[in-house]
Chain A
Amino acid sequence: MAELTSKERVIKFFKKEPIDTMPVFSGMGTVVIQAVNEMGVKFAQVHTTAELLAGSALKSSEMCGLDAVVVPYDMATVAQAVGCGLTLYENSADILYPTVPNKWETLEAVDIPADFMKRARMPIVDEAFNILIKDGRFAVGAWQLGPFTLAGQIIELGLLLKGAKKNKEAVEAFLTKMTDIVIESIKHYESLGVDFLNIREMGSGTDLLSPKMWNSLIQPHLTRIFSALKTPAVLHICGGTDMIVPLMNQCGADALSFDQKNTLAKTREVVGNDVIVLGNFDPYGTMVQMENPADVETVVKKCIDDGVDAVWPGCDLWPDVKLDNIKAWVKTSKEYGKKRSPVIGRI
């Protein structure tokens, strides 16, 4: 059996071509603290230079045996670039991801600078992609928040949620503006030459929105985004998703990713065997909390038995993982995933 490189495996995977075994990767952050520590820097620093961002991504995937690298790690890059500021938590002893301290208070007050892609840390992220692509060993993944989740980073989420009922036209216009930002940024990453994309509309699950509202408020924007992309693209939503699986599947994504709240076996039945399904272990409960790697093996096997094409965490890996648990994820995926998955054949 021909053995593929990590990069080849992931690229073929998204092209739905036969591969040697199940790729092990994620479209969300997979940086591990062991890699950051080995680099001799603090977690707060890795978000601040292209070298540290790319370096920590590469080292993490080397250490863990993953097939891809993904940057950035925090959700604040665009919000910072459009003027919401940044809190890095440099003095915290804990692992904390950067956040935005300021949000606009009304939809009308939001003023997006035309050159936001050149502001704040956006050039750092670009340069990190260049480093990762040049390295060439791993598939390179870029992600962006979906319009609704991005909106929640720059204005009060409550304003948006209530506005969706009370002031629908203004919210609709605002989400169109957010969609433009998402498309501009993700198309730019596409032009840099990344191998796959992930749109994370994680704030739109049915914990918050009704399927009816998802259909009218979220779906049209996501459909516009996916129709603008040429690179394989994933739609990821965490939280409650069972009720919106068919709607998610209509958005035009090449793959759908779910977290542990999704009833995955049922989801596979609903979407059939044409679309790639990714998921759905609890990243904290599995990679950090489990004391015995054999328990991780059970979780990974269940994901595969439920019908995923690759076993993804439901969110960013919590960086303070147990490396043995990560290795169990990788080993089980590769061994138990030697058989074909619902969508992807084997060489």
Chain B
Amino acid sequence: MSKSKEELLKALAEAVVEYDEDACKELSQEVLDNPNTLTPMEAVMNGLAAGMEEVGRLYDTHEYFVPEVLMCADALYAGLGILRPHIPKAEAGVNAQVVIGSIQGDVHDIGKNLVKMMFDVAGWGVHDLGRDVPLEQFVEKQLDTNSEVVAMSAMMTTTMLGMKKVIAMIKEKNPECLIMLGGAPVTKDVANLFGADGYADSAGNAVSEGIKMIGRLREFQASKK
């Protein structure tokens, strides 16, 4: 007997929490095979993303750490890869783009990838510049794509000052663009000083913050109905 809507959503969320990639794939296929039960969009937002919210709670309470969170993210992506192509563009809800990357001098990208996941889940157009990205590339890509958000990460103190320059360059040309900063050494004071609009202070907090943003997007999605 096929699962009810509630059962399928619960199973998807649990598969993410239990970092079970195979289950995420199977359940996502089950969603596609039973189009009358729930839509792919509902499965992403109220199944996979709901699971990731629980992962965020487990991270906040020190039950999960970054290795678990990374594996949960893999499970989420396994499901997303199957469901996303079947979400009609009009239903995706968010028609926005983000430019994301780790700044020049920084060869780490865990935090960046976790924040990127948030945008992927929410259906944003993501321009991932990778890591060790020269400052001008952020500005060029933002201008090329007219992206609403630029998200930058610097894991080390030694690279975070480059962010200040990028922010100034982008804000000068496009004051409306929102800037998110993440990375271990960036404190809220530094983010404020640099003129950034958003902040996440570590790979872990980045995902925690990112997950909270997923939660807000889910509320937004629900309120439109």
Contact = CB atoms under 8 A, between A and B. Distances in A.
Whether both chains belong to one complex is answered with: yes
Interface stretch (B1-9, B64-72, B85-93): B64-72
B132 A87 contact: yes
B157 A283 contact: yes
A240 B164 CA distance: 25
B105 A96 contact: yes
A158 B132 contact: no
B158 A207 contact: no
A229 interface: no
Interface string B154-173: 00111111100100000000
Interface in B103-124: 104-108, 110, 113
Contacts of B104: 89, 92, 94, 96
A228 interface: no
A285 B161 CA distance: 12
A164 interface: yes
Interface residues of A, number: 38
Contacts of A92: 104-105
Contact of A208 (B158, B161, B204): B204
A97 B71 contact: no
B190 to A, nearest CB: 7
Contacts of A318: 157-158, 161
Contact of A210 (B62, B110, B132, B159): B62
Contact of A316 (B62, B105, B157, B160): B157
B105 A158 contact: no
B202 A239 contact: yes
A316 B158 contact: yes
A165 B68 contact: yes
A157 B110 contact: yes
A161 B158 contact: no
Given A92-B104, A101-B132, A207-B203, A162 B67 contact: yes
A100 B68 contact: no
Contacts of B133: none
B125 interface: no
Nearest to B161: A94
A344 interface: no
B158 A213 contact: no
A6 interface: no
Interface in A46-105: 87, 89, 92, 94-97, 99-101, 103
Contacts of B157: 283-284, 315-316, 318
A166 B71 CA distance: 9
B97 interface: no
B74 interface: yes
A208 B185 contact: no
A80 to B, nearest CB: 12
B190 A165 contact: no
Interface in A201-227: 206-210, 213
Given A285-B187, A318-B158, A206 B65 contact: yes
Interface size class of B (residues with CB under 8 A): 20 to 34
A147 B112 CA distance: 24
Interface in A241-289: 243, 282-285, 289
Contacts of B62: 206, 210, 243
A158 B113 contact: yes
Contacts of A95: 158, 161
Contacts of A210: 62, 65
A152 interface: yes
A92 B103 CA distance: 13
Interface string A148-161: 00001100011001
B113 to A, nearest CB: 7
B65 A157 contact: no
B3 to A, nearest CB: 28
Given A152-B108, A209-B66, A284-B190, A96 B158 contact: yes
A93 to B, nearest CB: 9
Given A157-B108, A285-B187, A165 B202 contact: no
Contacts of A289: 189-190, 193
Nearest to A166: B71
A209 B202 CA distance: 13
A285 B185 CA distance: 10
Contacts of B213: none
A94 B132 CA distance: 14
A73 to B, nearest CB: 9
B178 interface: no
B202 A99 contact: no
Contacts of B185: 284, 315
A158 to B, nearest CB: 6
B184 interface: yes
A174 to B, nearest CB: 15
Contact of A100 (B107, B161, B184): B107
A257 B212 CA distance: 33
A61 to B, nearest CB: 19
Given A94-B161, A95-B161, A161 B132 contact: no
16 contacts: A95-B158, A99-B107, A101-B107, A152-B108, A157-B108, A158-B113, A161-B66, A166-B71, A206-B62, A206-B65, A208-B204, A209-B66, A210-B65, A238-B184, A283-B157, A320-B161
